[in-house]
Structure 1
C-alpha cells in the first residue's frame, strides 16, 4: 500500500537558523557536540545511526571509545568499546554488519548490536594504519593504502563477510596514507593523502571487474587527513592538512573527470571521517589545529539537489518545454537534446525520480504523473492527486530522489 504524508499549512516564513551556513552546493549546520573530543577516528552508519570509533584524544592518547549519533534525535549514546586502544583505524558496514579494522594492528572486529559486543573475525593481510581508504561494493569491503609493517602504502585488499576472508588485489598506482575514498557506480575512488610526492592531489579509481586502477584528474588542493562522502554520484572532499589545516570543499564529477571548488567548511578540520546518509554528509570530531588538537564539534553538510541537470555534470542546463517537446542545452558538451514527452496542456514536473543524478523529464496530467526515467529510458505512469491539485515534486526526505507531492487547499500530500 502506498503511503503519504499530509501537512496543513497555516502560515509560513523562510529563515536560516543561526547555526546554519548556506553556500554553493549546499548548507552547513552545527549539531549536538560529540561527548568526547577525538581525532584520527573512523565512522560508519548502522541502522541509521553513526558510530564514531576510537582515535586520538587531544593529548595523543589512543582510545577504544565508541559513541553513537542518532540524526533523528540529534543526540549521542555510548556503545561498547572495541577490544583494543587504537587510532587512524578504519570502519565500514557490509551486509548490514559493522566492522572496524586496521590502525595500530591488522585485527578486524565485528559489532553485534543485539548484545552490544565486539568479536574478532579474520585479520587483514596488512595493517593499513594511519588511515586507509575504504569502500563497499556488493557487500564486500575494499581497503587501500595506509602503512605499518612492511607495507609499501599501495596495498589493496578486499574482505568477504560471507567467507570471512581477506584477499590481496592489485596495488594502487600511488603510495599513500591519511587518505580516503568512496564508491560510485561500483567503482572504488581513492583521493589525497601523504607518503609519496603525488599522494596529496592524486585521484585514482579501481574497477573490480578488471582488477585495475586508472589515474584521474588530480584534486586541486593538496591535502591529507580528509573526509570524503558520495552524494549524487559525485565525490565530495572536505578539510584536511598539509602543511596547514584546510577548510576547502571540492567536488569531483566522474562524468566530466573534473573538479569544482565550493565555499569552505565552517570549521577547518583534519583527522576526520565523513559519513553519508541520503544527501547529508556528517563530519563529527577531528582536529581543529595542525597536528594534535581534537575537537567534539559535530557538523553536517546537506547537498543541494540541483534542478534541471539533465546530463548529470552538476550544472543546471537551459531547457524549454514547447507543445509536448523538451529542448535541453546540455552544459556538459553544449549539444542540444530534443525529446518528445507529454502534451502541450501538461504541467511539467522535472526531477531526479530514479536517483541516478540526472533530471528526468516528467509531467502531471489530471492527477496522473508521467516520468521518463533517465536511468533506463523507460517511463512510469501512476495516479497521485486530483486534476485540480498543484504538483510540487521535491526531495522532501533527503534521500537524493525527487518525491511525488501535490498541494491542495492548504494541505501538502507527499507520497511515501
Structure 2
C-alpha cells in the first residue's frame, strides 16, 4: 500500500502566505536537527544514504541562496535536538546506529563558529533520541524522546555552568515531537508513542514562572515528525507523518482567536524536518518524502 498525503482541513484558510523552492541541500538527509546561527540555517546530522547515520553539517545562507559545508559532528547522529542560547549552538541527544538498530545518545555538542569545530559538553542525565529542545530565558529545555520507550523527561541546561537539571516532566510522554519557545513559555507539540502507535495532537505548555505544565490548544491532526517554530505572535507547524500517511500541512496558531488556522500547504510533503526563521521567513530543509526512510535534499521557504 502506498503512502497517503494528508492535508487536514478542519480549519479556516486566511492570508495563506507563499512558498518558494531554494537551492537544495548538498546532502539529502532526514531526521535532521535544524537551527539558525549568525543568519545561517544549519542542518545537522540525520539519516543519509541507506538510512545510515551521518555526521554531516551544512549551512545555508539565505542572502546568497548557497550552501557551505561545516565541520562534521564528532560522531554520526540522527534524531537529535538543537537549540541556540546566547549565540551558542548546541546539539543534544539523538540516536546512533541504523538502519536496523538504534542506540540512544546522551551526548551534547557545542559548535564554535570562529574555529569551525565542535566541543563536547555535559551529557544529558537521561540519554534519548527523537526528543525536542528550545531555548527559553537563557536556558535550554530538552523534553520527551525515547530510549527503551517514550519518556516525558524534561531537563534544563545552564550553558554558563555546563550543567543539566531535572524539571517537571512532560505530562504526556512522547517522541518525535516539536518544541518552541513562545511568549515566555515552552510549547511541546504533537509527537507519538511509536511508529504504529498513538499519534498525538497534544500541545502542552510549560511556564517557568510556576514551574508547571498546562494543556494547550491541540493540533488539528495528531502526528509525529513535524517541525515547529515561532515568529512574532504566531506559532507555525509543518509536515509530519503517521502510519502510511505523510502530511503537507502548514498550520498557524492565532493567539487572538485561540485557534489553529490552515495556511498554504508545504509544497513537498515531508517528515523528519526542522524549521528555522531568518529575517521573517521560515526555512524548512531536508526530511523524508514518504513514511519511514525516503530522504530528500529539498529546501523550501515560507513567507507568512
Q: Do these two structures clear the TM 0.5 threshold for a shared fold by scoring above it?
A: yes
Q: Deviations over 1:44-99 (max 9, x none)?
A: 11111111100001421000000010111110000000111111011111111111
1:191, distance to aligned residue in structure 2 (A)? 0.6
- What residue is the counterpart of 2:141 in the other structure? 142
Q: CA separation in 2, counterparts of 1:165 and 1:199?
A: 33
SS at match of 1:63: coil
Q: CA separation in 2, counterparts of 1:200 and 1:285?
A: 23
Instruction: Could you tell me which runs of 5 or more consecutive residues in structure 2 were left unpaired when the two chains were aligned.
Output: 1-13, 96-104
Q: CA separation in 2, counterparts of 1:192 and 1:101?
A: 19
- What residue is the counterpart of 2:8 in the other structure? none
- What residue is the counterpart of 1:264 in the other structure? 265
Which aligned pairs between 1:229-378 and structure 2 lie closer than 5 A? 229-243=229-243, 244-303=245-304
- What residue is the counterpart of 1:228 in the other structure? 228
* TM-score (norm: length of structure 2): 0.88
Runs of at least 4 residues off by over 2 Å: 196-199, 253-257
State the superposition RMSD in angstroms.
Answer: 1.5
- What residue is the counterpart of 1:42 in the other structure? 33
Cα distance change, pair 93–41 in 1 and its aligned pair in 2 (3 A): same
SS at match of 2:36: strand
Q: CA separation in 1, counterparts of 2:64 and 2:239?
A: 26
SS at match of 1:228: strand
- What residue is the counterpart of 2:91 in the other structure? 100
Q: CA separation in 2, counterparts of 1:37 and 1:285?
A: 6
Structure 1 range deviating more: 191-200 or 204-213: 191-200
Which aligned pairs between 1:118-129 and structure 2 lie closer than 5 A? 118-129=118-129
- What residue is the counterpart of 2:15 in the other structure? 24
Larger Rg: 1
- What residue is the counterpart of 2:206 in the other structure? 206
- What residue is the counterpart of 1:394 in the other structure? none
- What residue is the counterpart of 2:77 in the other structure? 86
SS at match of 2:246: coil
* TM-score (norm: length of structure 1): 0.65
Q: Does 1 or 2 have the higher relative contact order (CA < 8 Å, sep 6+)? A: 2
- What residue is the counterpart of 1:116 in the other structure? 116
Q: Which of 152, 159, 162 is 1:161 aligned to? A: 159
1:198, distance to aligned residue in structure 2 (A)? 6.3
Q: CA separation in 1, counterparts of 2:237 and 2:118?
A: 30
1:181, distance to aligned residue in structure 2 (A)? 1.6
Instruction: Could you tell me which runs of 5 or more consecutive residues in structure 1 were left unpaired when the two chains were aligned.
Output: 1-22, 304-416
Q: CA separation in 2, counterparts of 1:70 and 1:170?
A: 38
Q: CA separation in 2, counterparts of 1:127 and 1:121?
A: 14
- What residue is the counterpart of 2:4 in the other structure? none
Q: In 1, are the aligned partners of 2:190 and 2:203 still within 8 Å (CA)?
A: yes
Q: In 2, are the aligned partners of 1:176 and 1:199 still within 8 Å (CA)?
A: no
Q: CA separation in 2, counterparts of 1:119 and 1:280?
A: 30
Q: CA separation in 2, counterparts of 1:32 and 1:70?
A: 10
